[in-house]
Homo-oligomer: A and B are copies of this chain.
Amino acid sequence: MQGQQLRVGLVGAGKMGADHALRIHERISGARLAAVADPDLDRAQQVAGSSGARATADAFEVIDDSDVDALVIASPGAVHEPLLLAALERGVPVLCEKPLTPDAKSSLRVVEAEEARGEHLLQVGFMRRFDAEYGELKRLLDAGELGAPLMLHCVHRNAATPPGFTSEMMIYDSVVHEFDTARWLLGSEIAAVTVRAPKSSSAAPDGLLDPQLVTIETTSGALVDVEIFVNCGFGYQVRCEAVGERGTALIGADGGPLVHRSGNWGGSISDDFRDRFGAAFDREFQRWADAAHRGHADPAAATAWDGYAAAAACEAGVQAQATGTRAEVDLAERPDFYIP
């Protein structure tokens, strides 16, 4: 494997793509960047620059490139579907940043295309599944150490939003992570979503419902509540407490040096999600590259089905937000192909 490095084609050279290029280049073993595509060719060249990879404005050129062994898709969700279908046709492993596609219907088409091909090639970038603390929480739940899980209490906070961030994006971009972790931790599909908002923070841009309280019901009968607050002011914070029949477990506590100074004790909080999940991204990519060498997706990762289920939950979430009422999730039947 060391002799033959995995040649990775990167589609999308924005912030996330550039970060992943660096990751492949500098932080994981057994893979190298072979090609970079971005409609903005300059940007593609800049990201390719230091690594010796080719740059192009045409994503399909990278997908069809026979010198590319595997693909990372980090372009906007709106253009994912044709890229994924083309990659499936070529039969290369793909790590697709979330969302799989922006809506349930198109996600389901991708699911069906992968099922038709009969190979697990796609995985969706829900990196929390590779975080050490989430992993330990999953282990505690699966081992039954807390008894059957009944509730999750989740908190998801950002210091501030970039311009143009909308209430819907709070569901699609942020709560989507809780949809996936709830499904993964509880081993259950999402049945319904309710969204409530208190009066909005005066720190939130005009028109943004911030914070919101999202309540999720699962088919297993568990309840999940999520505080999503994207202008909380102080930093990036992700917390999850699982409540089981015999105990609870909380992850996401503050870390780093405990400082005493000037009448205060405590530490600092970063507002960069990469400080919290950087190691998870690294593990996700390393495991993906290892699996891609063998020609398939990492079995530990979120599948196309998981991407579809998250998209369906997001649709219900946005509907619940708009109507103020409980929205049920209407899910297709899960193909045997996606039952582990």
Contacts and interface: CB of A to CB of B under 8 A. Distances in A.
A33 interface: yes
A258 interface: yes
B196 A52 contact: no
Given A198-B150, A202-B148, A259 B267 contact: no
Interface string A244-286: 0111111101111111111111111111000000010000001
A225 B202 contact: no
A131 to B, nearest CB: 12
A234 B260 contact: yes
A interface, size bucket: 35 or more
A148 B199 CA distance: 10
Contact of A2 (B5, B213, B217): B5
Interface string A158-170: 0100000000000
Nearest to A253: B258
13 contacts: A26-B286, A153-B153, A198-B217, A199-B222, A202-B245, A203-B245, A203-B246, A213-B223, A233-B247, A234-B265, A253-B258, A263-B268, A265-B269
Given A2-B51, A196-B215, A263-B269, 13 more contacts: A26-B290, A27-B29, A140-B259, A150-B199, A150-B201, A153-B153, A153-B227, A198-B221, A234-B247, A237-B260, A248-B259, A249-B258, A259-B266
